[in-house]
A and B are shown apart, each in its own frame.
Chain A
Amino acid sequence: MRTKILGERIKRKEDPRLIRGGAHYVDDLKLDGMLYMTFVRSVYAHAKIKSINDAAARSVHGVVDVLRGRDLEGKLGNVPCAAGLEGLKIPDHPCLAPDEVRYVGEPIVAIVARDRYIAEDAADKVEIEYGPLPVVVNPEKALEKDSPLVHSKFADNVAFVAKLEGGDWKLVENDKSLKLIKQRFINQRLAPASMETRGVIASYSSGEDALTVWSSTQIPHLLKTQLAVMTGVDEARCRVITPEVGGAFGSKLNVYAEEGVASFASKKLGKPVKWIEGRRENMQATIHGRDQINDLEVYVKSDGVVAGLRCRIIADLGAYHQLLTPAIPTLTALMILGCYNIPNVWVETIGVFTNKMATDAYRGAGRPEATYIIERAMDLVANELNLDPAEVRQRNFPSPKDFPLTLATGVDYDTANYQKTLKKVLKASGYSRLRKEQERLRKKGKYLGIGLSTYVEICAMGPSSRMPAGGWEFGMVRVEPTAKVTVYTGTSPHGQGEETSFAQIVAEELGIPFDNVTVYHGDTSVVQHGIGTFGSRTTAVGGAAIFGAVQKLKKKMARFAAFKLKVKPGELIFDGGKLQTADGSKSIPFGEVVEAAYYARQLPPGVEPGLTEQMVFEPPNYTFPFGAHVAVVEVDGETGEVQLRNYYCVDDCGRILNPLLVDGQVHGGLAQGIGQALWEDHVYDENGQLITGTLMDYTLPKAHHFPWFETSNTETRTPVNPLGVKGVGEAGTIGSTPAIVNAVVDALKPFGVRHLDMPLKPEKIWRAMKQAAAQA
């Protein structure tokens, strides 16, 4: 019987340092002679910079340097964008705005001083004279002919138009038997708001012409390459170290101006330079999520089967492109059919510049928007045809036998059983009982709402042919001479727990104790290559690379062992700290094989000494995790307040390596998805001023906002990687938002409410109820 580690509820390796306060985030690091940087940022959404007077700032005792945009010209490259779309307009995006600002919070001046208090004092003394320019905040207005231009060098504010068509749209339009349902959805702007803001320390050594950067990032290796390009330091002499990262949710899947300026400043001054983002800066100048307008048309047969779906997506990109800004809304188009085999599809995505911070990847990144559209659509169909929402979904699901399945969008779904997750969640929630309760309560003037969402997501990003900068991942496993095992991954986990799950993979495969395995990540000089952590890829792509490396290592160890035992290498099994033949008649301790490999006194023919193996895993496809969620809400008929009473979800993320970690990922995802549905809203006024610039104004959900989440799983393994895992980091966020909105709209059915846009705050609901009463 093999020792079972994989699939077990094992507590995390990461935690001891974190719960003792001994872990180190960027701001916890101190280097000799370190200087502190702060930024002066635009207070206008759009303006010419007429003049900058920094004399008073320079005279503050302890100020070392003041940098402006023009100081960087020709010396520091622009903020990069990796998204490649046909006809994409890419505006210049200098790290410090030299002559014009285009959103509130855009950095203009950097102050470098002896400590952070002095830097802040000096920042207050910088005088900037602005010449205000017309502002455009609403992306629809930005599309109008006479709209102010965000970038005057372009003829309009359209960054790109992308079309996706599948099936035969003419057929749909000409079929007069189909019912047309239309709806506009607003998917509001959100703040990722990780608890740790961004932070960077750059340390340049002129002697070696070497740049070391500590950054709170999800992509140390990509950042290293980009910083080499931006600063001109030879990439071989650039090193990025990612210490502990206090959450990111996509917002640190980026290369930011501040990382460039800190590197530039350190190179110029010959001293380490630290910048730690304040929360206000984080709300203003770290990427935002979502912000789309979706005009949907659904053509449906009388039995609820959807024949065609058409959607126009207006995506508010903000003023500049960050790393993946334009790519995010294209994922919405790609996943717009959800888990329904709708034969005809037509989607137009228009990326629009506005005078706001850039949008980019935030947990789900384009897929929550898609799921919201299609899952609200299913409820609109149910409402229109007076069918149960669960029944409408059943009628549109493909059969499990249809997989692998190519949808009209051209996406190849790996494997699924949507019926199974739906059935399971209906049972777990007592769905039919809930419907009866709802009926009873309605008669008493109480408003219970039941919301369903059956989602599918695109994860494990991804095949390199379809990714902007490679979709592979690197893994390396080394057995040390003491028989302890070191694992290196090119991914960059920041809370997800892969130091634990990757150690589980390796310990199980090598048949050694879990405690003997240590996982390293996030230092480009320690881990040779890497892409990073995002798109629910870390375990499905990075874990697969580790798994591949460990297979190579086992082959090599088996050759050493077989040579000693005089058996065939293929006969050997790794278990219980030994390598043994299947019948157990011959065995050798793990440690002795390690000694044989390192002392190398008698090498098997053609085998090199040492025990280090690596693999770069190239995924042949994405994975498509899916699930079914049920939300139960009570809406107060007097105040419009929503009480989330129960939440049930069944998620299928393929094989589960550690149920504790999967639960954690699902819970956190739910909190963010529910947060969008009910509370979160990142708001600019018509002048482009950010109204929700602090955590006093932006609602981050608290503990008492949530009920007990009833989570469970089904396990449909994917053939896309050898572990059978699909990814689970974004599932909760993607599945929950429409479930909540469907529940609230369902509760408001007696008022004739057909749709309300998020967030569903009491005032909005109260108004809808009042309006209904007035019309009645």
Chain B
Amino acid sequence: MKIRVKINGAWREDDVAPRLLLVHYLREVAGLTGTHIGCETSICGACTVLVGGQAVKSCTMFAVQADGAEITTIEGLAKDGQLHPLQQGFWEEHGLQCGFCTPGMILSAHQLLARNPHPTREEIRKGLEGNLCRCTGYQHIVKAVEYAAKASGK
């Protein structure tokens, strides 16, 4: 099936199998391997991307369902070489170790801050409940999101 999607600001067209998962489309067809696969059951959130500004677990969506949509992956977050405040926050606050959950974590946090620009620590923890991290114990992730909230200055 032909689909047309706008990924990180650029439209592209591809012919894909109806059963191709969005995450495999992004990784293997579009070559954007920053989106990871951690569980296949929509629990871990490593595959989180933004579809139409909404955080979506791309392992439980077919590529064809994204036809016509605008998608942001981790590769599209930095603008003109400038890190997004969330990326900067994760760096400054040591919000990652192995880095595997990080792209999904950052994009979930992106949605969280869009909805609630100044979350409390408790709200950050609750807001990230769809994303698992096995390395950090989450504390530095909470600080990273706080850093981004402050840096965005809204």
Chain A residues in the interface with B (C-beta under 8 A): 11-12, 14-16, 18-25, 27-28, 30, 117, 193-197, 244-247, 249, 278-280, 494-497, 660-661, 663-664, 666-672, 694-696, 700, 702-704, 706, 708-709, 732
Contact = CB atoms under 8 A, between A and B. Distances in A.
Interface in B30-66: 32-41, 43-44, 46
A247 B135 contact: yes
Contacts of A497: 97
Nearest to B75: A21
**In the complex, which of the residues A20, A27, A494 has the most CB atoms of chain B within 10 Å of its own CB atom?**
A20
Contacts of A661: 94
B115 to A, nearest CB: 16
Nearest to B142: A703
24 contacts: A19-B87, A20-B87, A25-B33, A27-B37, A117-B20, A195-B46, A195-B135, A278-B40, A279-B38, A660-B94, A663-B94, A664-B97, A668-B136, A670-B137, A671-B136, A671-B137, A671-B138, A694-B41, A700-B132, A702-B129, A702-B132, A703-B129, A706-B138, A709-B137
Closest 3 CB pairs of A and B: A21-B34, A246-B100, A18-B99
A709 B139 contact: yes
B113 interface: no
Nearest to A278: B40
A139 to B, nearest CB: 27
A195 B135 CA distance: 9
Interface in B62-101: 73-75, 77-78, 83, 87, 90-92, 94, 96-101
Nearest to A115: B28
Given A20-B75, A27-B37, A702-B129, A196 B98 contact: yes
Contacts of B22: none
A671 B33 CA distance: 28
B128 to A, nearest CB: 5
Given A15-B91, A196-B100, A668 B137 contact: yes
Contacts of B136: 664, 667-668, 671
A582 B53 CA distance: 61
Nearest to A694: B41
B6 interface: no
A278 B41 CA distance: 11
B141 interface: yes
Given A21-B74, A21-B75, A195-B132, A247 B126 contact: no
Given A664-B94, A664-B136, A671-B137, A19 B99 contact: yes
A244 B20 CA distance: 26
Contacts of B126: 703-704
A246 B137 contact: no
Contacts of B92: 11
Interface of B: 17, 19-20, 27-28, 32-41, 43-44, 46, 73-75, 77-78, 83, 87, 90-92, 94, 96-103, 106, 121-122, 124-126, 128-129, 131-142
Given A20-B78, A671-B138, A706-B137, A195 B96 contact: no
Given A703-B138, A703-B141, A19 B102 contact: yes
Given A21-B35, A195-B100, A668-B136, 7 more contacts: A18-B99, A19-B102, A21-B32, A27-B27, A663-B140, A700-B43, A704-B125
Nearest to A17: B99
A48 B78 CA distance: 56
A645 to B, nearest CB: 13
Contacts of B133: 195, 703
Contact of B39 (A27, A669, A695): A695
A11 B100 contact: no
A494 B134 contact: no
A193 B75 CA distance: 26
Contacts of B20: 117
A661 B97 CA distance: 9
Contacts of B137: 666-671, 706, 709, 732
A195 B142 contact: no
